[in-house]
Amino acid sequence: MKVAKFGGTSLADAGQILKICAIVKADPDRRIIVVSAPGKRNPADTKVTDLLIACAEAMLAHGAAEQELGVVVQRFAEIQKEIGLPASVTRELEDDLRQRLAGGRAHHGKYLDSLKAAGEDHCAKLVAAAFRQQGLDAHYVSPCDAGLLLSSEFGNARVLPESYARLAALRHRPGVTIFPGFFGCTAAGEVATFPRGGSDITGAILAAAVKADVYENFTDVDSVYACDPRIVPEAPAITLLTYREMRELAYAGFSVFHDEAIVPVVQAHVPICIKNTNRPAAPGTLISPERPYAAGAVVGVASADGFSTIFVSKYLMNREVGFGRRLLQILEEEHLPYEHVPSGIDSTSVILRRKLFTPVKAARVVARIRSELTPDDIEIEHGLALLMIVGEGMRYTVGLAAKATRALADAGVNIEMLNQGASEISIMFGVKEADRKPAVRALYRAFFSPEDQGAELADGLQDAGGAVRTKRPESSAVESAAGTLEERA
Ligand code: ASP
């Protein structure tokens, strides 16, 4: 049995919905279909989820959203008409959206989630009707009725463990089940959504719950590529990846698959296959627990902008018991998750996501570190990009860090941070955001282009080992604690 999830571009219009119908018909094992809301039909288009957010926001701001509602209804009506479904499908959608818009607005998160969820919910109903019209025995199933229970963190909900036993029953439903992605219900029966892109998470939860043979994730690319093809157009497709590799690549910017989504399928050992709705015959990328690999082989180079660093130095920090704990406790108390903590003898840096590290939070954190830890120096730097080279074959291989740092040096890229401590299958570099693309190209050339493949791996330099911040922040992107903490990067 297969669970297949289709992303927004696969549902963007009637033509796409008929394509997915053909894909489902082609394989009787595709018995549970998870759908996103209709996505963009072209780069200038707007996703239905964003249209629904606009409805909710208009209502919250001015108590009316007629125009915004009209756009959503129109979008669905076009699909309904093109497929040749009865007009009652659109009328039901409009009635339901009006009810959701008229719901209680006291809790903004709850209100927003009730509207956001409508995109997937109505898309699933429409897809079920379209599939039936095409001769499939297809049925819409509501996540709340099926028992997909979520925490009440609206907009950022997590699945509750008891969901799995309830959802397992989906395995025995006759015909093809059409299940809306992205949302479930809290114990109090309120609609809650996963983070954006969360239909991947729904698909993974169902695949784990029904113990699917494979979780197919249909999108609009043939496969995962070794580098972002917008940076390296000739980057080769990756046909086989391990869960660990995918997790590391997704962390640093590979956006094909939602990184949280991998958790349920990893725990249940269900392989994931990424496929293209527009070219279903292409092999795609299979992500499984293990794969054969050659020593030294790098499978992908990932990169992501949007990180900030807190740099703290204090003479004899290494002897001060509890310094690290107290530093991280300040972040915990300010509700700031941290990403990495590369440290030296008398200094330590904490890397965080820039979008969470707002100027107000930054000012508070700096003031608290100053008064509670009395450092010699504290600086905040924005505009850091993280790059990762990833591959199972990197385990125990001497010289990979040397090869990468040489490539970055040759490209004139300054390494701000290097971390090869905890993970055996990746090395992470921090560079200025402006250097990210040249850095990716340099690493790609070093590890993938034929003329560099033969380059000596080991040249006497050992891997960096451990996490080392190689230099202190400088440049205009650095704000001293005494200065302003406004965003300048
Ligand atoms: N429709 C939702 C979004 O745009 C969820 C998804 O597509 O996975 O984020």
E-assigned strand segments in 67-166: 138-140
- What 146-150 contacts at long range (C-beta under 8 Å, 24+ apart), as own/partner pairs, is 146/170, 146/179, 148/184, 148/185, 148/202, 148/205, 149/184, 149/185, 149/186, 149/187, 150/183, 150/184, 150/185, 150/186, 150/192, 150/194
pLDDT surpassing 50 at residue 459: no
- Characterise 407 by phi-psi region: left (phi > 0), alpha (psi -120 to 50), beta (else): alpha
Span from the CA of 417 to the centroid of ligand 1 (angstroms): 33
Classify strands 176-180 and 138-140 as parallel, antiparallel or unpaired: parallel
Mean pLDDT of 446-472: 46
From the CB of 199, is ligand 1 less than 6 Å away? yes
Mean pLDDT of 125-133: 97
More confident site: 310 or 297: 310
Span from the CA of 184 to the centroid of ligand 1 (angstroms): 13
Length of the chain: 489
Mean pLDDT of 156-163: 97
Span from the CA of 40 to the centroid of ligand 1 (angstroms): 11
Q: How far apart are CA 131 and CA 84, in angstroms?
A: 12
Q: Mean of the per-residue pLDDT values for the chain?
A: 90
Question: How many angstroms separate the Cα of 285 from the Cα of each of 238, 250, 270, 281, 313?
Answer: 6, 14, 14, 12, 45
Q: Which of 199-213, 227-241, 408-422 has the highest mean pLDDT?
A: 199-213
Q: What's phi and psi for 83, nearest 5 deg? A: -80, -20
- Characterise 57 by phi-psi region: left (phi > 0), alpha (psi -120 to 50), beta (else): alpha
Q: What's phi and psi for 479, nearest 5 deg? A: -115, 125
From the CB of 202, is ligand 1 less than 6 Å away? no
Predicted confidence at residue 220, as pLDDT, reads 87
Of the given ranges (70-84, 103-117, 419-433), which has the lowest mean pLDDT?
419-433
* In the chain, where the domains are located: 2-212, 300-463
Residue 47 is which amino acid? K
From the CB of 383, is ligand 1 less than 6 Å away? no
Span from the CA of 243 to the centroid of ligand 1 (angstroms): 22
- Contact status, residue 384 vs residue 478, Cβ threshold 8 Å: no
Of the given ranges (99-108, 216-225, 422-431, 473-482), which has the lowest mean pLDDT?
473-482
- The yes or no reply on domain 2-212 and CATH 3.40.1160.10 is yes
**In this structure, what token pair is assigned to residue 258?**
């939602």
- Residue 476's pLDDT band, with cuts at 50, 70 and 90, is very low
Q: How far apart are CA 461 and CA 399, in angstroms?
A: 6
Predicted confidence at residue 48, as pLDDT, reads 98
From the CB of 198, is ligand 1 less than 6 Å away? yes
Of the given ranges (32-46, 82-96, 235-249), which has the lowest mean pLDDT?
235-249
- Contact status, residue 56 vs residue 27, Cβ threshold 8 Å: no
Per-position DSSP letters for 204-225, written without gaps between them: HHHHHHTT-SEEEEEESSSSEE
Q: How far apart are CA 136 and CA 20, in angstroms?
A: 12
The percent of residues in the chain predicted with pLDDT above 70, rounded, is 91
Per-position DSSP letters for 176-200, written without gaps between them: EEEEE-SEEE-TTS-EEE-STTTHH
From the CB of 38, is ligand 1 less than 6 Å away? no
Mutate to test the pocket of ligand 1, among 11, 113, 120 (most ligand atoms within 8 A of CB): 120
- Residue 486's pLDDT band, with cuts at 50, 70 and 90, is very low
User: Please, what sign has the CA dihedral across residues 284, 285, 290, 293?
Assistant: positive
Q: What's phi and psi for 281, nearest 5 deg? A: -80, -20
Mean pLDDT of 139-143: 98
Predicted confidence at residue 305, as pLDDT, reads 95
Span from the CA of 34 to the centroid of ligand 1 (angstroms): 12
Residue 242 is which amino acid? T
From the CB of 49, is ligand 1 less than 6 Å away? yes
- Residue 464's pLDDT band, with cuts at 50, 70 and 90, is very low
Span from the CA of 59 to the centroid of ligand 1 (angstroms): 21
From the CB of 181, is ligand 1 less than 6 Å away? yes
Predicted confidence at residue 489, as pLDDT, reads 28
From the CB of 180, is ligand 1 less than 6 Å away? no
- Contact status, residue 404 vs residue 463, Cβ threshold 8 Å: no
pLDDT surpassing 50 at residue 483: no
Mean pLDDT of 318-328: 95
Classify strands 272-276 and 285-288 as parallel, antiparallel or unpaired: antiparallel
Q: How far apart are CA 55 and CA 45, in angstroms?
A: 16
From the CB of 8, is ligand 1 less than 6 Å away? yes
Span from the CA of 50 to the centroid of ligand 1 (angstroms): 9
The hierarchical CATH code for the domain 300-463 is 3.30.2130.10
User: Please, what sign has the CA dihedral across residues 9, 148, 106, 356?
Assistant: negative
- Residue 473's pLDDT band, with cuts at 50, 70 and 90, is very low
- Please report the atom of ligand 1 found closest to the CA of residue 120: 1
* pLDDT per position as a tens digit, 405-426: 999 999 999 999 998 766 789 9
Mean pLDDT of 254-269: 82
**In this structure, what token pair is assigned to residue 418?**
């290097």
- Could you give the dihedral angle defined by the CA atoms of residues 459, 412, 436 and 423, in that order, rounded to the nearest 10 degrees? 20
Predicted confidence at residue 154, as pLDDT, reads 97
Residues 333, 338, 342: CA angle, nearest 5 degrees: 125
From the CB of 9, is ligand 1 less than 6 Å away? no
Question: How many angstroms separate the Cα of 384 from the Cα of each of 71, 251, 352, 401, 404?
Answer: 39, 15, 10, 20, 18
pLDDT surpassing 50 at residue 461: no
- Please report the atom of ligand 1 found closest to the CA of residue 198: 8
Span from the CA of 49 to the centroid of ligand 1 (angstroms): 6
